Chains A and B, each alone.
Chain A
Amino acid sequence: MANVYYSVGQNSTDHSSGGNVSITSGVATFDTAQVATNLGVGDRLTYGGHIGYLAVKTDTTHWTVVTALGAAVGDHASTTVDSIGHEYTSLSAAEAGASDANHINNTSLVTANVILNIPCYYDSGDDTTVVTVSGYTTGVSNYIKIYTPNNTSTEVNQSQRHAGKTATGVYRRQVGSYEQGIINDQDYTVIQGLIVYGWGSHGINTGSRDNVNVSYNIVYGFSASGGCRGIHAGYSTNVKVYNNIVYSCSQGIGLDYSGTGSLVYNNTVVKNTYGFVQNYGVGSYGTLKNNIASNTTSDYYVTGTGSFFSVTYCASDDATADDWGGAGNRIDQTFTFVNYAGNDFHLASSDAGAKDYGTDLSSIFTDDIDGETRSGTWDIGADEYVAAGETRNLLASIVGASTTPDVAATIARALLSNIGGVSSTPDISSIISRALLANIPGISTTPNISGVISRELLANLATVSTTPGISAAIAHSLLATITSESLTPNVLATLSRSLLANMQGISLTPEISITIARALMANIVAGSYTPDITATMEGIISLIANISAISTTPDIAAITARALMVSIPAQSITANIIASITRNMLANITATSMTPNITAVIENFISLAAAIAGVTFTPDVVASMARSLSSLIVAQSLTPNIVATTARSLLANIQGTTITPDDLIVTLVILGAMVDLNIESKTPKRIIESKKVKYLIHDA
């Protein structure tokens, strides 16, 4: 039995990152990381005139690739990646096309002995085409799975699934008036992780088919008439409906003659005219466990003399949950959701209606609508309250569920006000920051998301607290987390850029800017950087570039530069890096009016020069030079232009790649000579005997 994968998006545009690919034993190795957020399982890879389909992700440079029939693709030497794109641009086209000669070439999945996987992606907009799944021959081991990939380790770069509430930026099936979202007329199908919404008749209709799995979906809006259902399971046996959220429908989940084998477990059905409905009023159908129904005309409702087969561990805010007897049912409950008005039906920490009142159903599934493991005494409903999950949900809100700055800022402010208000100790700040960043890998590993969160965190520094202590603690924690999470250099650079961009964008006071800069620098010095040191230094260059762009005040420039200089001696950096840093630093100095602070900068600069030249100047000599330069600036009342010219001259020397130690020393000596021509008594003999020095001294 083989798995075949054909992806669905709203376009088939090439979203590869370019580069080359080689294939060995079915594993594609890309020499350029393939990082598009909507790249994942089922996408068509074209290379060297061949076609393969991404099947299993190892990381962004390694994917298992299979043929249209699910076999391993042949070995291939390195060749250009021509494109990576979705196979279809609508779910209806994928359903109709998967059996054609270019794909399975068979309507019988049993004969072809395959599982048909149709992962659905978000590119832009919603999928608006009507989908009927039918016409295949399926079996228990040869089924059709329509789903949103959400495993960022093995399936996709960024989860394409909702985070337990409706959202944009994920795959959604939008349904037109009186249409149905997905009509399933096929045994053995799985419909998983979709958002299906619209003013249609039914959201997901399992028809009269058996062995259908409908789980992890969010379905809402189906209220065109009184018989419209979010999820409709009719005339079916062995239908599993679990971990779904259904709201704003005429009927939440409707069962029509669904046999006792139809399992309706852990669903949250809210704000519907009717909650769970057994429509045919005769006989006993449907096994309901661990469900929430709330805010309906009748939460659990049957027509005529029929009944549900069994209802246990279900809850209602009216008196209907125990109308059919059964253990563990809870009536007249008050449920507390994270944001009821905003249709976020995650259980709040304060909920007393559903939390820890369910029963263990781990023989069927073990997690909740968010994919979080259910533990302890199960909660009733689609969501299992998990404290860590709250953080994830918050971040999901910041990143995906809500793109409005207001919401993101509100959440971030709440988080940071907690840091400020509950405890200002660095430990607590650090824990919270670490928790925040620890969530980033789970939601997405893309640098963009790191940047988004960082921006939100820093944006709060301005409004929540202006105390340098707290700002510093947060910045420090962020950077500490970066080092411990072994982020890639790209992420580090992105984060640095975000931090600085934030300084620019939110009108931080100079004090806060300085504090952050100091914390950043202190972290750089304290961190035991190894191979990433180059990236770190690149980050410093970005920092400096930003500082010069955002502030012309000498204080900030000088303080930052001083911090940089302090850190440099501790690192085994190359001359090129020093040159780069110095270039940026001096560019900044020349732009400003010099103050006494500059003295310190130049002192450090001389140390730099010594480092570059590799000259074994003793500290005394260096100090002497520094004194000379200092006195030049302070005592001689030179105009800024002359100082700038001098600095530029120095810089020009440093920038030159062919500069010899002697050349550099000569320049310094000449500067010294401008103050005190009696340099022979202060300068090592080796230098004075240099021909060039003699010439210059003579010329002076």
Chain B
Amino acid sequence: MAKLLLINLATYRPGVNNIGDVVGIFKDGHAFSPAEIAGFDIGDMPALTETEIHDELIKITPSQNTAYRLPEAKKWVFDRPEEKRVWQDQNGVWNELATTPKYPYCLPLKATEIDSAKTADKATAITLLQGKLELNIPKFSENLLAIDDLNSKVEISG
């Protein structure tokens, strides 16, 4: 019982967003304006609630954190530690989060999939979501730089 507002060709801005980016999630029965109908794709998934869609988004949402690099261990200094935002990919690797995408998620549905979503039962709709839902963070190459210090494994000696 929810609808997704998705970027389509009319609102696609190269370098800013991608077709299928999730602009908003709305309750079933929400009436979009003529400007929205003209400018976006509307993923109508009556079999799913807003909460169920959010649950699927959370499943692919990576951990994020702030990492600090100390100038020299156990010494007082005036310079503030260097810091980076980082995110953890599905393999557990911490990478630099150099660019935060405008929209965190993308659901690039084809026209046929948009049509079928309208009549899909819950299981089919979730399968569709899980198969098509993309995380936007890894689409930026600068976000794929692993931070070795954070990923170093502890050697356990005999």
- Cβ-based interface call for A107 (8 A): yes
User: Given A107-B16, A135-B16, A135-B17, are A97 and B31 neighbors across the interface (CB < 8 Å)?
Assistant: no
Contacts of A44 in B (CB 8 A): 33-35
Considering the complex, give the chain A residue whose CB is closest to the CB of B36.
Answer: A93
Quick one: which of B7, B16, B39 contacts A102, CB cutoff 8 A? B39
Task: Decide if A102 touches B38 in the complex (CB within 8 Å).
Answer: yes
Quick one: which of A87, A92, A130, A135 contacts B33, CB cutoff 8 A? A87
Chain B nearest Cβ from A40, distance in angstroms: 16
- Cβ-based interface call for A392 (8 A): no
Task: Decide if B11 touches A100 in the complex (CB within 8 Å).
Answer: yes
Q: Cα distance A342–B87 when bound, in Å?
A: 40
Residues of chain B from 1 to 33 with CB closer than 8 A to chain A in the complex? 5, 7, 10-11, 13, 15-17, 23-26, 30-33
- Cβ-based interface call for A89 (8 A): yes
A residues contacting the other copy or chain, number (CB 8 A): 33
Task: Decide if B10 touches A101 in the complex (CB within 8 Å).
Answer: yes
Task: Decide if A90 touches B80 in the complex (CB within 8 Å).
Answer: no
Residues of chain B from 97 to 116 with CB closer than 8 A to chain A in the complex? 102-103
Quick one: which of B31, B36, B38, B79 has the most chain A CB within 10 A? Answer: B36
Contacts of A128 in B (CB 8 A): 24
User: Given A96-B7, A100-B10, A135-B17, are A89 and B33 neighbors across the interface (CB < 8 Å)?
Assistant: yes
Would you give the 0/1 interface string for A78-91, flagging 1 where the beta carbon is closer than 8 Å to chain B?
00000001111110
Quick one: which of B11, B30, B80 contacts A89, CB cutoff 8 A? B30
Task: Decide if B33 touches A88 in the complex (CB within 8 Å).
Answer: yes
- Cβ-based interface call for A390 (8 A): no
Task: Decide if B5 touches A93 in the complex (CB within 8 Å).
Answer: yes
Contacts of A89 in B (CB 8 A): 26, 30-33, 36
Q: Cα distance A405–B49 when bound, in Å?
A: 35
Chain A nearest Cβ from B25, distance in angstroms: 7
Residues of chain A from 446 to 488 with CB closer than 8 A to chain B in the complex? none
User: Given A12-B34, A88-B36, A93-B36, are A185 and B102 neighbors across the interface (CB < 8 Å)?
Assistant: yes
Task: Decide if B23 touches A92 in the complex (CB within 8 Å).
Answer: yes
- Cβ-based interface call for B40 (8 A): yes
Task: Decide if B13 touches A97 in the complex (CB within 8 Å).
Answer: no
The A interface, classified by DSSP as helix, strand, loop or mixed, is: loop
Quick one: which of A132, A282, A305 contacts B102, CB cutoff 8 A? A132
Q: Cα distance A103–B35 when bound, in Å?
A: 9
Contacts of B40 in A (CB 8 A): 93, 96-97
Considering the complex, give the chain B residue whose CB is closest to the CB of A130.
Answer: B24
- Cβ-based interface call for A11 (8 A): yes
- Cβ-based interface call for A328 (8 A): no
Q: Cα distance A100–B36 when bound, in Å?
A: 10
Considering the complex, give the chain B residue whose CB is closest to the CB of A305.
Answer: B78
Task: Decide if A12 touches B33 in the complex (CB within 8 Å).
Answer: yes
Task: Decide if A282 touches B79 in the complex (CB within 8 Å).
Answer: yes
Task: Decide if B102 touches A135 in the complex (CB within 8 Å).
Answer: yes
Task: Decide if A96 touches B33 in the complex (CB within 8 Å).
Answer: no
Q: Cα distance A103–B38 when bound, in Å?
A: 11
Q: Cα distance A90–B30 when bound, in Å?
A: 11
Task: Decide if B80 touches A97 in the complex (CB within 8 Å).
Answer: no
Contacts of B23 in A (CB 8 A): 90, 92-93, 96, 129
Contacts of A13 in B (CB 8 A): 31
Contacts of A97 in B (CB 8 A): 11, 35-36, 39-40
- Cβ-based interface call for A153 (8 A): no
Q: Cα distance A544–B23 when bound, in Å?
A: 57
Considering the complex, give the chain A residue whose CB is closest to the CB of B7.
Answer: A96
Task: Decide if B80 touches A129 in the complex (CB within 8 Å).
Answer: no
Chain A nearest Cβ from B55, distance in angstroms: 13
Quick one: which of B15, B30, B35 contacts A6, CB cutoff 8 A? B35
Q: Which 5 A-B pairs have the closest CB atoms?
A: A12-B33, A135-B16, A129-B24, A97-B39, A100-B39
B interface, CB within 8 angstroms of A? 5, 7, 10-11, 13, 15-17, 23-26, 30-36, 38-40, 78-80, 102-103
CB pairs A–B below 8 angstroms (14 shown): A11-B33, A12-B34, A89-B33, A90-B24, A93-B35, A93-B36, A93-B40, A96-B7, A102-B35, A128-B24, A129-B23, A135-B17, A282-B80, A304-B80
